[in-house]
C-alpha cells in the first residue's frame, strides 16, 4: 500500500506541475459532493455536482439499474438532472472521470466527453483513478480541450478512498502492481 501511495504522489506531482493544476480550496462544495457520493447504494460510491454562480444546479451519484444491470455513472446522472445549461459551470467529482465506457456501452459517451460536450469550464477532481490505464488521462484530455482542472486537497484522500471501498481499491492496486511488474 505504501509503495503505491508513493507512486500516486509522484504521478500527482507530475500532473500538477505539467498542467499548472491548483488545489481546490472550496471546502463547502468538496464536502457537498462527498455527501452526494454517500447516497450511492452500490459498493462503489461516486458523486458529481455542477455549480454555477455558487449554487449547485445539478447532482448525481452512481447507480446500477437492476433491470438490465447497466451502471449509470455519477456524471451521467448529474447531466441528466440538469434543468438549464451547464456551460461555464464548475463540476466537482469524487473520482477522476472515465475516458471510455466498456464494450457493453459502446454507444454511451464517456464522462470526460460529456464534460467537454457540455462546456464545463472547470472540473475539480477528488482522487485519480488508480487503474494505470486511466490514471491522469482524463485530466490530460480535459486540459487539451481547454477545461481547467483542479484537485481536492490531499487531506480529503482518506474520505475519498473510503467511498471507493476496499474491494475496488484492492482490485485497482493489483492492476497497478501488474503494470509496474511489466515495466521492469
Per-residue contact flags (x/-) with Zn ion for residues 163 to 182, judged by CB under 5 A: --------------------
Catalytic residue at 170?
no
Give which of 155, 46, 137 is closest to 91, Cα–Cα: 46
Do 126 and 156 touch, CB atoms closer than 8 A? yes
Q: Which of 12, 15, 98, 99 binds Zn ion (CB under 5 A)?
A: 98
Residue 24 or 75: the one with the smaller Cβ distance to Zn ion is 75
Instruction: Name residue 93's beta-bridge partners.
Output: 48, 125
Residue 34 or 111: the one with the smaller Cβ distance to Zn ion is 111
Q: How far apart are CA 78 and CA 118, in angstroms?
A: 12
Say how many CA atoms lie within 13 Å of 17 toward its Cβ. Answer: 5
Q: How far apart are CA 172 and CA 168, in angstroms?
A: 6
Residue 34 or 78: the one with the smaller Cβ distance to Zn ion is 78
Do 164 and 95 touch, CB atoms closer than 8 A? yes
Q: Binders of Zn ion among 105-124, rule CB under 5 A?
A: 111
Per-residue contact flags (x/-) with Zn ion for residues 22 to 61, judged by CB under 5 A: ----------------------------------------
The pairing of strands 122-127 and 90-95 is parallel
In the structure grid, which three cell numbers stand for residue 65, read together?
Answer: 439499474
- Residues near Zn ion (CB under 5 A), total: 3
Point out which span in 79-87, 95-103, 120-128, 164-172 binds Zn ion (CB under 5 A): 95-103
User: DSSP assignment, residue 154?
Assistant: G
Instruction: Name residue 175's beta-bridge partners.
Output: none
User: Catalytic: which of 24, 36, 75, 96?
Assistant: 75
Is 151 one of the binding residues for Zn ion (CB under 5 A)?
Answer: no
Residue 24 or 129: the one with the smaller Cβ distance to Zn ion is 129
Point out which span in 18-26, 41-49, 98-106, 176-184 binds Zn ion (CB under 5 A): 98-106
Residues lying near Zn ion in the complex (CB under 5 A) are found at 73, 98, 111
Q: Which residues are catalytic?
A: 75
Amino acid at each position: 500500500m505504501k509503495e503505491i501511495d508513493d507512486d500516486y504522489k509522484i504521478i500527482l506531482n507530475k500532473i500538477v506541475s505539467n498542467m499548472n493544476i491548483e488545489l481546490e480550496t472550496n471546502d463547502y462544495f468538496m464536502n457537498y459532493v462527498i455527501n452526494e457520493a454517500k447516497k450511492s447504494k452500490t459498493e462503489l460510491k461516486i458523486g458529481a455536482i455542477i455549480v454555477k454562480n455558487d449554487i449547485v444546479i445539478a447532482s448525481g451519484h452512481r447507480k446500477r439499474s437492476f433491470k438490465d444491470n447497466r451502471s449509470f455513472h455519477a456524471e451521467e446522472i448529474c447531466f441528466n438532472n440538469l434543468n438549464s445549461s451547464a456551460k461555464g459551470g464548475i463540476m466537482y467529482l469524487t473520482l477522476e472521470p472515465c475516458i471510455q465506457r466498456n464494450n457493453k456501452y459502446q454507444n454511451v459517451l464517456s464522462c470526460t466527453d460529456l464534460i467537454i460536450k457540455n462546456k464545463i469550464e472547470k472540473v475539480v477532481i477528488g482522487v485519480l483513478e488508480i487503474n494505470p490505464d486511466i490514471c491522469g488521462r482524463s485530466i490530460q484530455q480535459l486540459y487539451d480541450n481547454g477545461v481547467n482542472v483542479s484537485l481536492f486537497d490531499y487531506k480529503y484522500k482518506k474520505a475519498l478512498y473510503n467511498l471507493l471501498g476496499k474491494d475496488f481499491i484492492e482490485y485497482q492496486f493489483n492492476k497497478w502492481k501488474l503494470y509496474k511488474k511489466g515495466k521492469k
